[in-house]
Amino acid sequence: MKEKKEPTVWQGFKSFLMRGNVVDLAVAVVIGAAFTNIVNSVVKGVINPLVGAIGTQNLDSYSSCLKGPCAKAADGSVSRGVMILWGSVLGATLTFVITAAVVYFLMVLPMSKYLARAEARKRAREGTHEVIEVTELEVLKEIRDALVSQRGSGHSRE
């Protein structure tokens, strides 16, 4: 009896790297990193000024003192008290919502519509193909029936 050799670590690693989903994931990470820069620019260049029309352009400056007295150092760090920096959370949330909206409206929605149209075309082609096959099958049945009827009438003459 021959025993199966287990793949080596190197063979397993090579197999892992050659899977399509690993390459797809790597591409997604690179595209995501580049896309993050675009979203951050939109937040800093458009969203923050719009919020700044109401308050301040820097969302990071919004905070509340939980346990006072609160004081910030010159570098922006909290030197006294306990401060909740809810402005940075708001900025991160806006960045997430904008990223999700752009990904959905510019990537997911058009791709799903494209795939739906492609699937509809494929179904239409398959439907046409089935009609052609059914028609050919009906023609062959008619030919068979005609041959059987001719054969039947030919036997009666003999």
The pLDDT tens digits for 100-118 are 887 788 778 998 899 999 9
51's enclosing H/E stretch is helix 48-54
Query: Which pair of structure tokens corresponds to residue 77?
Result: 């760090």
Task: Decide if 92 contacts 72 (C-beta within 8 A).
Answer: no
For residue 61, give the DSSP letter: G
Amino acid at 88: S
- pLDDT of 75 strictly over 50: yes
Q: What pLDDT sits at residue 157?
A: 47
Burial track 48-60 (b if 16+ CB lie within 10 A, e otherwise): beebeeeeeeebe
pLDDT band at 35, cuts 50/70/90? confident
For residue 6, give the DSSP letter: P
pTM across the whole model: 0.49
Q: What pLDDT sits at residue 113?
A: 93
pLDDT band at 17, cuts 50/70/90? confident
